[in-house]
Each structure stands twice: as structure tokens, then as C-alpha cells.
Structure 1
Amino acid sequence: MSDDPKDPIDDFKQFESDLRKAERKVAGEIDPGLRALVVAVAVMVAAVSLALPHVAPSFFSLHGVNGFDVLSFDAKAQAAKITITSRVFVYLVLIFGIIASALALITRRWVLAWIALCGSMVSVPAGVLAWWSRNTPGLNALTGPDGKPLPPPDGVAIGLVIGLIAVVVLAFHWARVVWSRNAHQLVLENQRREAAAREEERMRRLTDPIRHESASEDD
């Protein structure tokens, strides 16, 4: 019975340390909720878009230059006069729309979600420029009988449009996920401060009688 009681101050410090660890853990994670399903579908659609033609004689034609041809810039892509804007868009879809988004969805890490958001937002104007480039003569465009530059031989196909829609959906939903995480983090910080204040007050009330008793024994 001579064991010294545990110091309430140490209990409070341990409580505060555990609370901070929990806060840091939550701060680094996201909770997409039902949006996870939408994001997962958008990632799969983005992946499928790479297998579909991005450039073809007609919009719904399945015979043309697909996303993988654009990625590798093979002979088919060169013959179709694929521009740098189309290549940039396809790389952005692969890196941010598929890889980064899938990793963020699997790991639930906030940093990866933020990277996927930024990349998806950049992918949207890149996709619009890729679309525009298929209807606009380039610097090395062929000229017609009248001497005017001709547009590229083939136009936009279904793969490019589907890929563009996918990154628009990803950009929107990643923005909502990241924003909701920031709002949730502010709530957690307020709760931590309130809990710490309550615990500090409780510890103060517990330690005041102990200190008073110790002072009486010293006298």
C-alpha cells in the first residue's frame, strides 16, 4: 500500500499525446464515402478510353489511333499527325487519372488525393486543347489546292471524348473529397482543443487536493 499513486499530470500528458497522434493519423487520410464508387468507375472509364480510338475517320469508328498508339507515338500516330497536345493529354490521363487516382482510392492518403486532384484539373484543359488541335491546322499542316493549310486528316474519336469526360468527373469529385477532408479536419481540431481543455481542468481539480495534502504533511 506504499505504492505511489500515478501522477494525474502524466495521465493528462499521455491523453494529449494520444489525441495528437489520432489527429495526425486522421489528418493524413481521406474518407471519400460513396464518392469512392464514382471515382472508381471514372478511373476504369479513363483506362478504357486509352484502348479506344482518339483519332479516327469518324467519331464512332473503332479503326484509328488509340490512346496507347498516342502514348508510344508509333507509326500510326505519326501518320495521323498527332499533335503534342494530344500526347500530353494522354500522359496526364495515364499518370493522374488512372495511376494517382487509383493509388489515392486504395491507400486513402490525402497527399495522393491532392496530387490526383491537381493532375485531373490540368488534364481538363489539356483534353480540350487536344480536341481543338484535331480541327485546327498545325504548323506543319498540308496545304490544299488553294494554298491554305488543311486540318489533320482524321478527326476526334470516341476515346478522346470519353477520356476528357472521365478527368472532368475525377477533378470534380477529388475536389469535393479534398475540401470535405479540410472541413472535417477543422472540426477535429476544435474537438481536440475542447477535449484538452476539459481534461486539463479535470486534472487541475484532481491535483489541487493532492498538492494541498502534500503541503500539510510537510508542515
Structure 2
Amino acid sequence: MTGSKGAGVDGTGRTAVRRIDPGPRAMLIAVCVLAAVSSLLLPWVAGMAGWEVLSGADAGPLPTLFSITLTTFAIACSVTALVTRLWVLAWLSAYGCGFSSVNGVWAIWSQQTGAGGGPGFGLVLGVLAVVLLTFVWAGAALKRS
């Protein structure tokens, strides 16, 4: 009888170890995700909105790659990690947003050095949101409960 109780306690302990408690960071994460979603509605490249770049408009490879990684990690993975509070998803969000940050800086650079008119406000907002999410998720993942 004690063996079954011990197994339940051990299972609960393992579940608690794999979870995070973002605490006040949760509100900052939610605001950053909202900023990332909003960035998709604003101009990114040559007057095209971010959602148009995401849907395959000819905006160049770097803005297109950034739109994919922004949507995948900063929006989808972050929301899933925030809802489930799983430690592994927090790390995935941190690493994915870090990768997306590099893509975003390259996308801005490509618009500044090319023949285009420079990066749009939405592209810059998306990069700022994903950079902030990188550090917030890394802090949350490092401080698991």
C-alpha cells in the first residue's frame, strides 16, 4: 500500500520539476506576444504587411524566414509554453526566439543595404518583441519551480 502512495508522490514531484512559474514575467510575455502579432499587421517590406510576407509575397528570403520564425517561436511556442508552463517549452521558446532574433536583425540589415526603402515599422517592432522574449523566456526557464 505504501508503494502506491510513494509512486504517486514521486510522479507529482517529477511533474513539478518539469514546470515553470513565470510569475510577473507572464504579463510581459503576453505583451510581447501581442506586439509580435501586431507587427504582422504593420508594414515590413516595401509597404507589404508582415502577414503578406508570411503568406509568401516576394519580400526576399530573410524577411520571409523571420516571419516564419517569429510566428513559430514568438507567437505559437510562447503561447503554448505560457499556457502549459512546461519547462521544455520555455527553453524551446528561449532558443527559438534567440534564433529568430538573429534572423530579424539580418532581415533589417537586408532592407537597409538593398535597393528597398528600408525596413518598415512592423519589422522593427517584431525584432524588438522577439529579442525581449528571448531574455524573458531564458530567465523563466532558468528559474523553474
TM range (shorter): over 0.9
Match of 1:91 among 68, 91, 100: 68
Shift of 1:180: 0.4
Q: Which residue of 2 aligns with 1:72?
A: 55
Query: Greater relative contact order (Cα 8 A, min sep 6): structure 1 or 2?
Result: 2
Shift of 1:18: 3.1
1:1-219 to 2 correspondences below 5 Å:
11=2, 13-56=3-46, 64-74=47-57, 78=58, 82-136=59-113, 151-181=114-144, 184=145
Q: Which residue of 2 aligns with 1:209?
A: none
Amino acid at match of 1:16: G
Count of aligned pairs between the two proteins: 145
**Aligned alpha-carbon RMSD (Å):** 1.5
User: Could you state the TM-score of these two structures normalised by the residue count of structure 2?
Assistant: 0.92
SS of structure 1 residue aligned to 2:40: helix
Amino acid at match of 1:164: V
Shift of 1:112: 1.8
TM-superposition CA deviations, 1:74-127 (whole Å, max 9, x none)? 3xxx3xxx2211111110000100011011111112222222111101011101
Q: Which moved more, 1:13-22 or 1:169-178?
A: 13-22
Shift of 1:14: 4.4
Amino acid at match of 2:132: V
Structure number with larger C-alpha Rg: 1
Structure 1 runs (4+) deviating above 3 angstroms are 13-16
The 2-side partners of 1:107 and 1:16 are apart by 25
